Structure formats: structure tokens, C-alpha cells
């Protein structure tokens, strides 16, 4: 048994690769869920590919897929996002980038961050957005609850939700279309050159009649593009 994790990755990977190059058979296993999904195991798999080592993948339990299958939300198109950032501003920024994605969104979350994450999701995505809280999957106290972000936020605040165990959040994709109207885009870009995002999107909504929330999301995206180009 060779421990392999974020803190010993380099040394352990070299040792494991050496064994593989000696024609030893190595099994990558995990104490929770499928190896290489939201853990550093994928780097070891990549290293094996790069050195011409044959890789075999055996299907096994995966919390993301189990949660999706039991959520009642569309599964024809979904996006697995792993863990959101721990810090609030970074978390909100990540959610804003996903706000107009029409695919079902899947996240892992730590119990002690559940309340903050759901609160941020409700603020960024809208309280009416559906979410399935999947907790302790395949265990005795398994929970699968399909509700809205607003109701889940209330339930957490009222201590009606257990904030412990392994948690997966499955969130419905956006139903609104991303702005593609060239006139709305043109007006928004002109206003953004002189005004903050919130004020520019509000004025653009008044001028064009487009949805204020969608214009705000588009303004954030345009601002990010400008910052990255600078």
C-alpha cells in the first residue's frame, strides 16, 4: 500500500511509475468514491499515459452520478464542477460564470460550507432555481431532496437540514437564453465604458427592454474579458 495524495504527490508518483516500468501491476484505489474524480489521482493516470504504461479503468461507485440519477433533474447534458472555491468572492465569481449554463450542474461540498454555498447560489442563480441535496449516498441516513434554492436556504437557516456527511448538490441549468441581440450587446458595451457593471446593465435594460438579470450576467462576462485583455 502506497499513500498518494496532494502532499506527497511528486515522490509517490515517481515511486509508483518506477514499479510500473518494472512491469508491476498497480491499482489506484480510493477510500471514497471513484479514484481520479475530484482528487489528485488523475495526475498519476496522466503520468502513466505519458510514459506508455497501459491504463485500465474499472467502473465503480461515483457520488456525482448517483446524485444525478436520483435527483430528478435532466441528465442528457450535465457539467461536473467538483468543489467550489472556499472563499466567498471566488465562489460567487465561479457561480456567475455558470449562471447561464443550461446544463445540469453538479457540485461536491463540505458540510461546514453548505449554508454559505447555498446562500451564494440563491443570490447568484436565483432562489427559484431547482436543486437536489444529496447527502450520505448509499449509507443509512441517505437523503435526496429536490427543492428550490430559496427553500433549501430557509431549511438550513431553520436547522431542518443535517449539515454533516458527504454532500452533492445537483442544480438545474438555466432556462433563460444568453443574450444574443446585437443591439443590446452594443448598448451594453457603450455603457460599460463609462459606468459600473450594475448601473450599466440596469440602464441597458431600460433602453433595450432586455432582461436586466441577463444583461447583468453578460456585463460581468464582458468585464472579465476586458480585464483579461488588459
pLDDT at 92 over 90: yes
Q: Which residues of 108-146 are buried (b: 16+ CB within 10 A; e: fewer)?
A: bbeeebbebbbbbbbebbeeebbbbbbbbbeeeeeebeb
Answer yes or no: pTM beyond 0.75.
no
pLDDT at 210 over 80: no
Q: Which pLDDT belongs to residue 70?
A: 97
Mean pLDDT score, 84-100: 94
**What pLDDT, in 10s, does the model give residues 99-127?**
989 999 999 999 999 999 999 999 999 99
Residues listed for the chain: 230
Q: Which pLDDT belongs to residue 50?
A: 94
Residue 145 contacts residue 114 (beta carbons within 8 Å)? no
Q: Which pLDDT belongs to residue 17?
A: 94
Residue 130 contacts residue 148 (beta carbons within 8 Å)? yes
Mean pLDDT score, 128-133: 96
Distance of alpha carbon 120 from alpha carbon 115, whole angstroms: 9
Residue 102 contacts residue 166 (beta carbons within 8 Å)? no
Q: Which pLDDT belongs to residue 176?
A: 53
Q: What percentage of the chain exceeds 90 in pLDDT?
A: 68
Mean pLDDT score, 163-185: 81
Per the prediction, the chain carries an average pLDDT of 90
Residue of higher predicted confidence among 217 and 82: 82
**What pLDDT, in 10s, does the model give residues 28-86?**
998 877 888 888 889 999 999 999 999 999 888 899 999 999 999 999 999 999 999 99
Q: Which pLDDT belongs to residue 228?
A: 63
Grid cell in block for residue 171? 442544480
Q: Which pLDDT belongs to residue 178?
A: 47
Mean pLDDT score, 210-216: 81
Phi-psi domain of 2 (left: phi exceeds 0; alpha: psi -120 through 50; beta: other): beta
Amino acid at each position: 500500500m502506497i499513500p498518494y495524495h496532494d502532499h506527497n504527490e511528486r515522490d509517490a508518483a515517481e515511486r509508483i511509475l518506477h514499479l510500473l516500468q518494472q512491469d508491476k501491476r498497480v491499482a489506484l484505489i480510493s477510500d471514497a468514491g471513484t479514484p481520479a474524480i475530484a482528487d489528485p489521482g488523475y495526475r498519476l493516470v496522466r503520468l502513466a499515459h505519458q510514459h506508455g504504461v497501459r491504463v485500465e479503468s474499472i467502473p465503480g461507485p461515483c457520488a456525482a452520478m448517483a446524485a444525478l440519477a436520483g435527483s430528478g433533474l435532466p441528465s442528457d447534458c450535465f457539467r461536473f464542477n467538483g468543489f467550489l472555491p472556499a472563499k466567498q468572492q471566488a465562489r460567487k465569481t465561479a457561480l456567475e460564470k455558470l449562471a447561464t449554463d443550461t446544463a445540469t450542474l453538479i457540485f461536491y461540498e463540505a458540510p461546514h460550507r453548505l449554508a454559505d454555498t447555498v446562500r451564494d447560489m440563491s443570490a447568484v442563480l436565483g432562489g427559484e432555481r431547482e436543486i437536489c441535496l444529496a447527502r450520505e449516498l448509499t449509507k443509512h441516513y441517505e437523503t435526496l431532496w429536490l427543492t428550490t434554492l430559496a427553500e433549501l436556504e430557509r431549511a438550513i437557516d431553520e436547522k431542518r437540514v443535517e449539515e454533516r456527511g458527504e454532500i452533492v448538490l445537483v442544480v438545474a441549468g438555466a432556462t433563460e437564453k444568453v443574450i444574443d441581440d446585437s443591439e443590446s450587446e452594443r448598448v451594453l458595451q457603450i455603457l460599460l465604458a463609462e459606468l459600473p457593471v450594475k448601473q450599466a446593465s440596469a440602464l441597458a435594460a431600460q433602453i433595450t427592454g432586455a432582461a436586466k438579470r441577463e444583461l447583468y450576467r453578460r456585463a460581468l462576462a464582458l468585464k472579465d474579458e476586458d480585464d483579461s485583455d488588459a
